[in-house]
Chains A and B, each alone.
Chain A
Amino acid sequence: MITAERKPLEEIFEMLVPYRRIAVLGCGTCVTVCMAGGQKEAEELAAAISIHRKKEKQEASVEAFTIERQCEFEMIDQVAERLKGFDVILSLACGVGVQTLVEHLPELIVLPGLNTKSMGYPVEQGVWVERCLGCGDCVLHLTQGICPITRCAKSLLNGPCGGSAEGKCEISKDTECAWHLIHDRLAKLGLLKVLDEIQPPKDWSSSHHGGPRTIVREDVRLESGK
């Protein structure tokens, strides 16, 4: 899933200053699960904005509602007419949702209410970790399911650097050394030999470094899209 955190309230209040009719639009998928931008958070934020505007004696009407996914045109269509009735949409989707709204309904002003963080998952209630950078050329088969691109602070491909100590990464005693984890897992599986091979430089052109990526699947494309 995509993880995100709400922006600081002050920043949100500041960006909403020019607008009077405000919609806080939640998203029912990833950000609902990571408790940053679902219906509950949208309602809470709408209430906070209303109170703030009253206190500042700046008139505003704020409404909160949610669609299942802001990253799909069809789902945006369900509320398109309603959205057009506002001066601004404060989107509580990830950065993808904000951009999908703008691309599909360019007449809207859409602002981000969240800081999108990463692709990851909750390891425990209230803790979400990053696990994939979407590098476009997955190496998890070499490292037995632990991503060195994402979890090693230097994205190393040939084993732990000299900063690895007691299982922790040199950047922080709270961060596990990904390569220590990989080493131990490979050792347990009897696969340590894998580490002896020198992994060649990664081809980053399949990642974001090659420019924004588009996937085209001719086999599933509709005639009209061609």
Chain B
Amino acid sequence: MKAGSNLEKVINSGQFAVTGELGPPKSADVSMIKEHAEAMRNYVDAFNITDNQTAIVRTSSIGVAGVLLQMGLEPVVQMTVRDRNRIALQGDLLGAVALGVKNVLCLSGDHQKFGNEPGAKGVYDIDSMQLLKGFKDIRDEGKFIGGDELEAPLSVYLGAVANPFADPFEYRVDRLEKKVEAGASFIQTQCIFDIDRFKRWMELVRERGLHKKVAILGGVTPIKSLGAARYMKNYVSGITVPDELIERLQGAEKKKEEGLNICIETIQQLKEIEGVAGVHIMAIAWEEVVPEIVERAGLYPRPKL
């Protein structure tokens, strides 16, 4: 056990884990996000909170994590290297743990040009690999990146992201291996729409035995409309939406329902793939369907550990 979080316990018990994503608001009014979290309370093992996602200014991940902790819910704090240098990132790790956060997900973050402050100076002092390794060393060696020692030990369950749909494809498994070495205990993947490519990636993952060293949570997103699918295909960096999926939505009478069906089918397929330890549901701007997805995918009730 690294930190004894609920997520870690579910993963270690070998049961199929479920996490849900929450996107903080563009205001300090957290009533809506609290409502969404409340509705998902018994349906996910932990809540992933994005860090100024797509470089749009929002309530901080740690701030929302604090709110969730007050509600008795378990957050996964996302931390990108885009906006903070190693001083701020390490300080925020300490702050998050002090608040009661047990899960932290390390990532690069979308480039600032995509957001609502495109003139911002990108920090990128360290990269996501170095962040992960730095946090691992803080936990396991009691040392900061610069070598100075912590005054007291801390525990944290560390995760990272993987994108099987990015290029070069052959390198993506090397990169996963590197992240495992750097300290990732769990991996959240980019949204899976191209299940065939995901399966190919998982084959390579299994060939190297990486599925035994790290818990891979497959990312899924229910598509609400044809427009949303097209938007993701054309404008969201790092996401591949196959034409067949677009056609299937096009042919469907009730797009929303079909989008939901596709998502649930994907989860069912994920459950069958050897080495997939769980699912991460990213229903941004459609949070209310998460309970239905979890139930229909046969993942309800969630284990109480």
Contact = CB atoms under 8 A, between A and B. Distances in A.
Interface of A: 153-167, 170-171, 177, 180, 183-184, 192, 195-196, 198-202, 204
B59 interface: no
Contact of B178 (A165, A196, A200): A196
Nearest to A168: B167
B203 interface: no
19 contacts: A159-B175, A160-B166, A161-B128, A161-B166, A162-B107, A162-B108, A163-B163, A163-B166, A165-B167, A170-B110, A177-B167, A183-B168, A184-B168, A195-B171, A196-B177, A198-B129, A198-B133, A199-B130, A201-B145
Interface in B172-222: 174-175, 177-178, 181-182, 190
A184 B81 CA distance: 25
Interface residues of B, number: 35
Given A157-B130, A201-B134, A201-B145, A166 B167 contact: yes
B126 interface: yes
Contacts of A162: 107-108, 161-163, 166, 190, 237-238
Contacts of A154: 81-82, 108, 111, 122, 124, 127
A160 B167 contact: yes
A170 B171 contact: no
Interface string B42-83: 000000000000000000000000000000000000000110
B102 interface: no
A2 B236 CA distance: 34
Interface of B: 81-82, 86, 107-108, 110-111, 113, 122, 124-130, 133-134, 145, 161-163, 166-168, 171, 174-175, 177-178, 181-182, 190, 237-238
B238 A201 contact: no
Nearest to A161: B108
A94 to B, nearest CB: 22
Q: Do most interface residues of chain A lie in helix, strand or loop, or is the interface mixed?
A: loop
A170 B238 contact: yes
A196 B190 CA distance: 22
B127 A163 contact: no
Given A160-B167, A160-B171, A162-B238, A153 B125 contact: no
A113 to B, nearest CB: 24
B86 A155 contact: no
Given A165-B237, A201-B134, 4 more contacts: A160-B171, A162-B161, A195-B178, A201-B130
A184 B169 CA distance: 12
A155 to B, nearest CB: 5
Closest 6 CB pairs of A and B: A162-B163, A170-B237, A158-B129, A163-B237, A156-B127, A201-B126
Given A156-B108, A171-B113, A198-B133, A165 B166 contact: yes
A223 B113 CA distance: 51
B146 to A, nearest CB: 9
- Listed residue (A157, A158, A200) with the most chain B CB atoms within 10 angstroms of its CB: A158
Given A163-B110, A170-B111, A198-B129, A156 B124 contact: yes
